């Protein structure tokens, strides 16, 4: 039986640059750095972010971009500050997808290795509640 999420692993061409995104961009804490003696396939760092274990390993970046992504929850009141921080760090912010009122706001951006991240203000419960109202409610 699945007990929960164990960890997320991202392959990055530049471990220090990815670490900056995790620590400065998201507020994660570095909890492990292999240095030049990795136990796994390559140099790696582990981060703790809101109770999540995030691993980063050096390797070739993703060849192409897609809509596959990881979304982190943020407070709506922090939305504009996060947009400014992500833009100041030089990441490409992509336009949000069309949304109906009540499903939250999102910031989508690609990192330097073509990973798509989303910072989202909504919750599953709010989205399901809104969708249950149907399309007519949006008009």
Residue where a domain terminates, one of 10, 35, 60:
60
Residues 66 and 128 in one domain: yes
Mean pLDDT estimate for the chain: 89
Instruction: Compute the radius of gyration of the chain from its Cα atoms.
Output: 17
> In this predicted model, what pLDDT tens digit does every residue of 20-72 receive, in sequence order?
999 999 999 999 999 888 788 899 999 999 999 999 999 999 999 999 999 99
Residues with catalytic roles:
44
pTM equals: 0.85
With tokens 């929850």, the residue in question is 73
Indicate which CATH number applies to the domain containing 15: 3.10.180.10
Report the number of distinct structural domains present in the chain: 2
* Contact predicate 8/54, CB 8 Å: yes
- Pick the closest to residue 33 from 24, 112, 18 (CA basis): 18
pLDDT band at 136 (very low <50, low <70, confident <90, very high): low
- Pick the closest to residue 122 from 138, 91, 99 (CA basis): 99
């Amino acid at each position: 039986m699945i007990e929960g999420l164990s960890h997320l692993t991202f392959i990055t061409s530049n471990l220090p640059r990815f670490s900056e995104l995790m620590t400065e961009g998201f507020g994660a804490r570095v909890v492990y750095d292999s240095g030049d003696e990795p136990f796994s396939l390559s140099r790696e760092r582990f981060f703790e972010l809101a109770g999540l274990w995030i691993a980063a390993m050096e390797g070739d970046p993703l060849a192409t971009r897609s809509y596959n992504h990881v979304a982190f929850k943020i407070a709506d009141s922090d939305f504009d500050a996060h947009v400014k921080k992500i833009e100041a760090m030089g990441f490409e912010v992509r336009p949000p997808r069309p949304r109906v009122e009540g499903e939250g706001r999102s910031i989508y951006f690609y990192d330097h290795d073509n990973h798509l991240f989303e910072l989202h203000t909504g919750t599953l419960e709010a989205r399901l509640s809104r969708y249950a109202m149907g399309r007519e409610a949006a008009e």
